[in-house]
Amino acid sequence: MTDLNVQLLPWQQDVYSDSTRFKVVAAGRRTGKSRLAAWMLIINALQTDKGQVFYVAPTQGQARDIMWQTLMELGNPVISGSHINNLQIKLVNGATISLKGADRPETMRGVSLKFLVMDEYADMKPDVWEQILRPALADQKGSAMFIGTPMGRNHFYELYKYAELGDDPTYKGWHFTSYDNPILDPDEIDTAKKSMSSYAFRQEFMASFEARGSEMFKEDWVHFGEEPEVGDYYIAVDLAGFEEPEDAQYYIAIDLAGFEEVNKKRTKNTKLDETAIAVVKVSPDGWYVDNIIYGRWSLDETAAKIFQAVRDYRPISVGIERGIAKQAVMSPLTDLMKRHGTFFRVEELTHGNKKKTDRVMWALQGRFENGYIDLSKGEWNSRFLDQLFQFPDPLTHDDLVDALAYIDQLAKVAYSYDYEIDDHEILDVVAGY
Check residue 177 and give its pLDDT: 92
**Same fold yes or no, 10-180 and 220-410:** no
- Taking a C-beta distance cutoff of 8 angstroms, is the pair 208, 60 a contact? no
403: which residues sit within 8 A by CB, 6+ positions away?
238, 239, 253, 254, 255, 276, 277, 278, 292, 294
Q: Is domain 10-180 given the CATH code 3.40.50.300 in the classification? A: yes
pLDDT score of 1: 45
Q: What pLDDT shows up at residue 425?
A: 38
Please list the ranges in the chain whose pLDDT falls under 70: 1-2, 210-215, 238-253, 257-272, 352-353, 395-396, 412-433
pLDDT at 270: 53
Residue 210 to residue 319: CA distance in whole angstroms: 34
d(CA 55, CA 38): 9
- Note the pLDDT of residue 250: 64
- Residue ranges per domain, the chain? 10-180, 220-410
Q: Provide the whole-model pTM.
A: 0.53
CATH of 220-410, one of 1.10.3720.10, 3.20.20.80, 3.30.420.240, 3.40.50.620: 3.30.420.240
pLDDT of residue 395: 61
* CB neighbourhood size of 124 (10 A): 25
Between CA 179 and CA 26 the distance in angstroms is 13
* DSSP secondary structure letters along 169-200: TTEEEEEE-GGG-TTS-HHHHHHHHHHS-HHH
Going by C-alpha positions, the residue among 269, 164, 280 that lies closest to residue 227 is 280
| DSSP tag of 78 | G
Sign of CA dihedral 223, 225, 230, 232: positive
Q: State which amino acid sits at residue 122.
A: A
Q: Residue 431's CB: how many other CB atoms inside 10 A?
A: 24
* CA proximity to 350, closest of 241, 277, 251, 247: 241
Mean confidence (pLDDT) of the chain: 83
Residues β-bridged to residue 143: 115
Predicted confidence at residue 315, as pLDDT, reads: 84
Give the separation between CA 409 and CA 350, rounded to whole angstroms.
9
